[in-house]
Structure 1
Amino acid sequence: MVFPRSMTVLDVSEITPVDIKESPADDSKSIGIVYGKLMHVDVIQNLENGYSEISTWDYRSMRDIRGFVPTKLLKTVELNKKYGIVVALSQQKVYIYEDNALIKTFLCSSGLDDNNYFTPKGLYRIGERGESFFSPKYGQGAYYWVRFNNNYLFHSVPFDENRNIIEEEAAKLGQKASHGCIRLAIEDALWLYNNIPQGTPVIIKD
């Protein structure tokens, strides 16, 4: 498996949204948003007025989108060359590569694929991480989260408000079950957390 060596991102923080404009002008309306640092955008053309036309995935509508952003925000970044990750949604598996050779395969649970909860396909890179989080909105948390697109994370199967693993959710590994993140067994989430560096490419596909 050969991974890209670089990708184009928006040069703002991982949790900062950038408006995608309908036309290349400051007063043009926003038709979508994309978050910085971690998500690849395709540059269609650079215009003379300081805007560029891009094609990407809209975080709001959860659909492919084409629009305009300030050219000064575009940045080409180098990707980690040692590791690479492929998420195969149709198989509900995560493949870990080292020096382009497959070294690990993890069973996972991706988004449920309804209108609100699905896992976006595309090219990303690994960002920040943390030991755990809890979402009051869902009444769930998880261990060993690793970001690949704003609130989209790799993390363990979920725990409840008492930090106990929810066994019925853990039993769903291998089928679509999450709110959009990539769930992993605790030991697999810990391995990824400990071993995969920032800047590692992530390809999410069918």
Structure 2
Amino acid sequence: MKKLHRLLLIMMTSFLLLVPADAAFAAKKSSVIRPGESLQQVRTLSWKATLLRNVRTKYGRFRAGTVVTVVRGGAKCIIRLKGHNYSISKQYLSFGEDLASVVTKGDYTKRIKNTYINSAAHKSKSKYLVWVSLDKQRVNVFKGSNKKWKLVKVFKCTTGRDNSTPIGNFTIKSKVPNYNGLAYYMAFSGSGFHRWPGAGISSIGTHTQSHGCIRMTEKDVVWMYNTLPVGTRVWIY
């Protein structure tokens, strides 16, 4: 009897691990995030800037005109010098591009996206590559091949609360028209792309809200479902 009980427990645990994040909560309604509610911790791209004044640190003196890496924006920026981070007022930095903003403040330019995605190796088993930008809540679709990718589509999306959307390299494992109530489901790493379920779609592209999956409008996810083959690379960052 104990062996049977243990076997049933193992089977139930295995089943739960296989259920995609949003599918496990498909019947559960989630309220729209309220203004001021904390968003998912997200990562922004690093930015280059030029010092407008001399900066003295215990690791050395850096003259005005030195190109530095900005790792966090804001009124007080964080810059990296000689492997160490320093806080400096934004007014003392000159940016070639606007600072990265989080969620509600626009998107990266097409040039920045192409440069970023081709700055490292991203190989795909299809002629498409998908980059889900967590800080911008955007799905970026590229066409081409490794280090020769070109941006062809940009869609607003909503990712997971509480860091529930996985970060890293994945592939589209399967596509089904309906998975436990989630329409146009494209699975990757226990989560997936799918049509927004239920109410709350007005917050798409502005707030994290899902249980880990990537929610999109029906029009946008249908295009992806019909266009992207199984095996397409998905980069989430």
> What TM-score, normalized to structure 2?
0.45
Q: After TM superposition, what 4+ stretches of structure 1 lie above 2 angstroms from structure 2?
A: none
1:90-124 CA-partner distances (Å, limit 9, x unpaired): 1000000011110000000000126xxx1010100
Partner of 2:168: 122
Aligned residue identity for 1:105: V
2:138–2:156 CA contact under 8 A, matched in 1? yes
- Following superposition, the deviation at residue 143 of structure 1 comes to 1.1
Q: Structure 1: state its 5+ residue gaps.
A: 1-16, 18-32, 35-77, 135-140, 159-165
Partner of 1:46: none
Partner of 2:203: 172
User: How many residues are aligned here?
Assistant: 114
> What TM-score, normalized to structure 1?
0.51
- Following superposition, the deviation at residue 81 of structure 1 comes to 4.3
Q: For 1:1-206, what aligned pairs fall within 5 Å after superposition?
A: 79-99=124-144, 100-113=149-162, 118-134=164-180, 141-150=181-190, 152-158=191-197, 166-167=198-199, 169-174=200-205, 175-205=207-237
Q: CA RMSD in A?
A: 2.2
Which has the greater radius of gyration? 2
Partner of 1:58: none
Identity %: 34
Q: Structure 2: state its 5+ residue gaps.
A: 1-13, 19-122
Q: d(CA) in 2 for partners of 1:91 and 1:79? A: 23
Q: d(CA) in 2 for partners of 1:154 and 1:81? A: 17
